[in-house]
C-alpha cells in the first residue's frame, strides 16, 4: 500500500478526482472513500459519459474514475473523447467496472485509459490505484489479461456434415459390417433361441410328435353303461 503524502505548507496539491458512474449510491460511496484520503479531493460527479467529458473540462480534474456502462455515452467512448481532447492532455482515466472481460480491457486501453480495475477491489487498493495513475504510471487489475479470447463457435455456426454419396455409404457400411462367410459352420456356433424347445428331450432323443388335428365333428360323448 502506498503511503499518502503529508499535506502541509509547500506540499503538493491534492489529486483532483472526478467520479463517473450511473449509480448514485455507488458514486456516493466512492466519494466518501476518496474524500477520506488526505491527498485527494472529489471535484465532481457524473452520471453519464457525456457529463464526465464536460466536467473533465470545467472542473479541471487530474483523474477520472470511469465506469463502462453508462447511459447517453458509455465510458469507453467518454475515455476516447477525453484522450483526444488537447485541452485535457493531462487528464488520466482509471476505468473501474464490474466487467473484467478481456474485450473491455483492450477497448479501454485502446481508448486511452491509463488503468483498469474491477469494482470488487479493496478500498485501499483503489486509493493506491488513483495515486499510481495520477503519477503517470499504468495499472492493470490483478489477474486481468490483455489478450482477447477467440469467440466460441455456437452449434449453429459449426460446419455441417459433408454429404455422402450412395456408393460411398455402401462402401463404408460394407467395411464395418461383419463377415458372416468367415464364421464357422459347425453346430456349436449355430445360434439358438433361449427358452424354446430344441426338438430333443433331456436324454438327447427326439421328442414325440404332437397328434395331428382331426377333421369333421368332434366325437360324441357316450353315456356310462350299467355297473356289473
Domains, the chain, ranges and CATH? 15-139 (3.40.50.2300)
Q: Is 107 exposed, middle or buried (0-12, 13-18, 19+ CB in 10 A)?
A: buried
CB 96 within 8 A of CB 137: no
pLDDT of residue 141: 73
> Grid coordinates 480534474 are at which residue?
61
Instruction: Write down the pLDDT at residue 117.
Output: 92
d(CA 63, CA 43) in angstroms, rounded, equals 10
**All residues at 6 or more sequence positions from 75 whose CB lies less than 8 Å from its CB, including other chains:** 20, 49, 52, 66, 67, 68, 69, 95, 97, 108
The torsion angles phi and psi of 63, rounded to 5 degrees, stand at -150, 140
Grid cell locating 202: 433331456
Q: CA dihedral in degrees (140, 144, 147, 151; nearest 10)?
A: -140
Beta strand extents in the chain (DSSP E only): 15-20, 40-46, 63-66, 92-97, 115-118, 139-140
pLDDT value at position 222? 59
- Model-level pTM? 0.59
Collect the ranges in the chain with pLDDT lower than 50: 7-10, 143, 145-174, 176-178, 180-197, 202
DSSP state string for 101-132: -HHHHHHHHHHT-SEEEETTS-HHHHHHHHHH
End-to-end CA distance of the chain: 128
Torsion angles phi and psi, residue 34, rounded to 5: -65, -40
Amino acid at each position: 500500500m502506498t503511503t499518502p503524502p503529508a499535506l502541509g505548507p509547500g506540499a503538493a496539491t491534492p489529486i483532483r478526482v472526478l467520479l463517473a458512474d450511473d449509480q448514485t449510491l455507488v458514486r456516493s460511496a466512492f466519494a466518501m472513500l476518496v474524500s477520506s484520503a488526505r491527498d485527494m479531493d472529489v471535484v465532481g460527479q457524473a452520471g453519464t459519459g457525456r457529463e464526465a467529458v464536460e466536467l473533465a473540462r470545467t472542473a479541471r480534474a487530474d483523474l477520472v474514475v470511469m465506469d463502462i456502462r453508462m447511459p447517453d455515452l458509455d465510458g469507453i467512448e467518454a475515455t476516447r473523447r477525453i484522450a483526444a481532447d488537447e485541452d485535457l492532455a493531462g487528464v488520466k482515466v482509471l476505468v473501474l467496472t464490474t466487467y473484467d472481460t478481456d474485450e473491455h480491457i483492450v477497448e479501454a486501453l485502446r481508448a486511452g485509459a491509463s488503468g483498469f480495475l474491477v469494482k470488487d477491489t479493496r478500498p485501499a487498493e483503489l486509493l493506491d490505484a488513483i495515486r499510481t495513475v495520477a503519477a503517470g504510471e499504468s495499472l492493470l487489475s490483478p489477474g486481468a489479461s490483455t489478450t482477447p479470447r477467440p469467440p466460441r463457435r455456437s452449434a449453429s455456426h459449426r460446419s455441417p456434415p459433408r454429404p455422402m454419396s450412395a456408393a460411398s455409404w455402401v462402401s463404408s457400411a460394407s467395411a464395418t459390417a461383419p463377415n458372416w462367410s468367415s464364421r464357422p459352420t459347425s453346430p456349436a456356433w449355430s445360434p439358438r433361441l433361449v427358452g424354446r424347445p430344441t426338438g430333443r428331450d433331456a436324454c438327447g432323443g427326439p421328442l414325440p410328435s404332437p397328434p395331428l388335428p382331426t377333421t369333421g365333428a368332434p366325437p360324441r360323448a357316450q353315456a356310462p353303461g350299467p355297473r356289473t
